[in-house]
Amino acid sequence: MSRDKTAVMQEADTNIHAMNDNPREFIRDPMMLEFLGLPNAGFVLETELEQALIEQLQGFLLELGKGFAFVARQQRISTEGRDFYIDLVFYNYLLKCFVIFDLKRGELTHQDVGQMDMYVRMYDDLKRSDEDGPTVGIILCAQKNESVVRYSVLQGNEQLFASKYKFVLPSEEELRAELDRERAAIEERLLDQSPE
């Protein structure tokens, strides 16, 4: 343990502030859930997926990325006599915000997006404290419909995300194609940011 606590704290503060605190940088898409040992996504019920994630929580936390801590499963939030249940709730101590998950076994729909938008707004209103950042909502689905993403509140939103899950690691060709897509997206972002 260091005897120079001030220097260590300054270094930690500098490194933490240097990190991008944009939730988009923390959300993986797709999420690889092969560690669950479940069959093809089309045959898994949402409750089975949720149970498997809870049983393999350590693996799921590692797949989520940095700074995640488990808070609750099927957390009830109530308003005006109605109860709603959020599948999984985490807290990200780097982003300093709650991250809520809605699990979907099929393709992403506009109803899923609307439901998550409502959950995020309710969570911000009913559960978030003044010290917490805005709640982040992630719809974890078997298939992500790009049209639904493009023409819904998901487009450009830094609080709502849809992330696809896969139960099997991609092939070498799929990984190459994904790397090529990611490289092209990064190059496009760099071109957009460069001064003319």
Report the percentage of the chain scoring pLDDT > 70: 73
Q: Which residues contact 183 (CB under 8 A, 6 or more apart)?
A: none
Q: At residue 85, does pLDDT exceed 90?
A: yes
Mean of pLDDT over the chain = 78
Name the pairing type of β-strands 82-92 and 97-107: antiparallel
Per-residue model confidence (pLDDT) at position 128: 93
**31-46 confidence digits (pLDDT tens):** 666 656 666 655 666 7
Highest mean pLDDT among 22-26, 27-31, 41-45, 91-95: 91-95
Q: Kindly list the domain boundaries of the chain, sorted by start residue.
A: 5-169
Q: At residue 77, does pLDDT exceed 50?
A: yes
| SS3 (DSSP) at 134 | coil
**130-166 confidence digits (pLDDT tens):** 999 999 998 888 788 777 777 777 777 778 777 776 6
Q: At residue 169, does pLDDT exceed 70?
A: no
CATH 3.40.1350.10 fits 5-169, yes or no: yes
Per-residue model confidence (pLDDT) at position 118: 93
Per-residue model confidence (pLDDT) at position 145: 77
Per-residue model confidence (pLDDT) at position 1: 46
Confidence label for 123 from pLDDT (cuts 50, 70 and 90): very high
Of 131 and 53, which is predicted with more confidence? 131
User: What is the token pair recorded at 170?
Assistant: 């991609």
Q: How many CB atoms lie within 10 A of CB 18?
A: 7
- What b-and-e string marks burial along 22-43, b requiring 16 or more CB atoms within 10 Å of the CB? ebeebbeeebebeebebeebee
Q: What's the CA gap between 132 and 7, in Å, rounded?
A: 27
